[in-house]
Amino acid sequence: MSGLFDPVPFGGLTLPNRLVMSPMGRGRTTADGTPLPVMAEYYAQRAAAGLVISEATHPSPVAVGHAHSVRLHTAEQARAWAEVVDAVHRAGGRMYLQIMHAGRISHPDLHGETPVAPSAVQADGTARVFRGKPGYPMPRPMTADDIAATIEDFTRCARKATDIGFDGVEIHGANGYLLHQFLSSVTNVRDDEYGGDAKGRIRFAVEVARAVATEVGPERTGIRLSPGFPLNDMAEPDRAEVYPVLLDGLDELGLGHVHFVAGSDLGLVHELSRRWQRTVVVNAGTGPLDTDATLGAADRALADGAHLLSFGRQFLANPDLPERLRTRASLNAWNPRFFYEGGSQGYTDYPALAASAAG
């Protein structure tokens, strides 16, 4: 086997295994995006992951993209998050905060403002607001002041996160949200220094990463990317030119990790993984409820250049996923009905092995 269950150094920590809990928004918050107490229980149950990465967390109100997605910009939100991180640490785990601005994948119902984006290019699709599913509106192109303020919001959020005990942060540069929108020639048609060729379109992502890394340390800062992933109405016709330039820009900053999303352009992910000097994290499981198939996929990803493997839905439904994979036990199935709502149902009630055997 590949050392999947051996300790590995990462960001000044020693991870007990190479399995990462992939970030997953679960919507267990108050209406203003403050974590509910049940979040501490949920994440602590999954503390056996080598690393837990939190769900996408918004650094300001206008960054919010979905009803009930979680935030970290007020003192109350920081207090509630501190309980989550403490619970994970008490359970023996390590946890990063994922920071996300949704850009055009948003709606005024969520924060009272016109969503912002690199350019006035409307997304096809419907927003998840508190009531109904309205279409995404036309976003407002960001001014230079908006850009500076947004970089400041990411930085302040990262500082708050590490102040309350998070072991590091992951910047969300994937899945069609704001940073990703800046990278694409379809969603970014700006004619200033943040648009145009690859060098212009990567500028915003690199500036966010530089500011965050300067604030909390590059080794504790990572970024999630999804080259070629069409989620949220994205298209990246010239991604093969853009991402190598982006990776070189991020590499120069000494960022600790880059995390690739399943569904990305796999050939490009392999090329980029070879290019990256430090830790590469890859979504490896992507679904099978079969332990051998999952371990096989994990081994292939390691052979293709990954150092850590992230699992989303398998961790969602199996709080003790590392133990199940190590012992080749069966896996619980997930229930999508409770992905984004449902209190403790479909959230903290997935049984661990001992509990399944007993009951």
Ligand X SMILES: Cc1cc2nc3c(=O)[nH]c(=O)nc-3n(C[C@H](O)[C@H](O)[C@H](O)COP(=O)(O)O)c2cc1C
Q: How far is the CB of 53 from ligand X (least distance, A)?
A: 8
The only residue of 93, 168, 195, 312 in contact with ligand X, by rule CB under 6 A: 312
Q: How far is the CB of 347 from ligand X (least distance, A)?
A: 11
Q: Is 339 among the residues that bind ligand X (CB under 6 A)?
A: yes
Q: Is 22 among the residues that bind ligand X (CB under 6 A)?
A: yes
Q: Quick one: which of 347, 316, 301, 351 has its CA closest to 22?
A: 316
Joined tokens for residue 229 = 């992933």
| DSSP-derived 3-state class of residue 197 | coil
Between 179 and 247, whose beta carbon lies closer to ligand X?
Answer: 179
Tell me which stretch binds ligand X (CB under 6 A): 23-31, 136-144, 158-166, 238-246. 23-31
Between 60 and 195, whose beta carbon lies closer to ligand X?
Answer: 60
Q: Quick one: which of 71, 25, 277 has its CA closest to 175?
A: 25
Tell me which stretch binds ligand X (CB under 6 A): 19-27, 86-94, 103-111, 243-251. 19-27
The only residue of 25, 195, 228, 322 in contact with ligand X, by rule CB under 6 A: 25
Q: Is 55 among the residues that bind ligand X (CB under 6 A)?
A: yes
- Residue 177 falls in the annotated catalytic set: yes
Environment class of residue 251 by beta-carbon count within 10 Å: exposed (0-12), middle (13-18) or buried (19+)?
middle
Between 182 and 195, whose beta carbon lies closer to ligand X?
Answer: 182
Q: Is the CB of residue 74 less than 8 Å from the CB of residue 30?
A: no
Distance, CA of 95 to CA of 143 (rounded, Å): 34
Q: Is 314 among the residues that bind ligand X (CB under 6 A)?
A: yes
The conformational region for residue 98 under phi > 0 = left, psi -120 to 50 = alpha, else beta, is: beta
Show the site string, 255-294: x = touches ligand X by CB under 6 A, - = not.
------xx--------------------x-xxx-------
Q: Is 317 among the residues that bind ligand X (CB under 6 A)?
A: no
Q: Is 313 among the residues that bind ligand X (CB under 6 A)?
A: yes
Count of residues of this chain found to bind ligand X when the rule CB under 6 A is applied: 22
Q: How far is the CB of 52 from ligand X (least distance, A)?
A: 12
Q: Is 24 among the residues that bind ligand X (CB under 6 A)?
A: yes
Q: How far is the CB of 222 from ligand X (least distance, A)?
A: 11
Q: How far is the CB of 329 from ligand X (least distance, A)?
A: 18
The only residue of 51, 64, 84, 174 in contact with ligand X, by rule CB under 6 A: 174
- Print burial letters for 107-116: b (CB count within 10 Å at least 16), e (below 16): beebbeeebb
The only residue of 42, 43, 229, 311 in contact with ligand X, by rule CB under 6 A: 311
| DSSP-derived 3-state class of residue 88 | helix
Distance, CA of 36 to CA of 33 (rounded, Å): 9
The CA radius of gyration of the chain, in Å to the nearest whole number, is 19
- Print burial letters for 208-224: b (CB count within 10 Å at least 16), e (below 16): bbbbbbebbbbbbbbbb
Strands of the chain, DSSP E: 8-10, 13-15, 19-21, 51-57, 95-99, 116-117, 140-141, 168-172, 221-225, 257-260, 279-283, 308-311
Q: Is 19 among the residues that bind ligand X (CB under 6 A)?
A: no
Between 25 and 195, whose beta carbon lies closer to ligand X?
Answer: 25
Give the chain's largest Cα–Cα span.
Answer: 63
Positions marked catalytic: 177
Residues that bind ligand X (CB under 6 A): 22-25, 55-56, 98, 172, 174-175, 224, 261-262, 283, 285-287, 311-314, 339
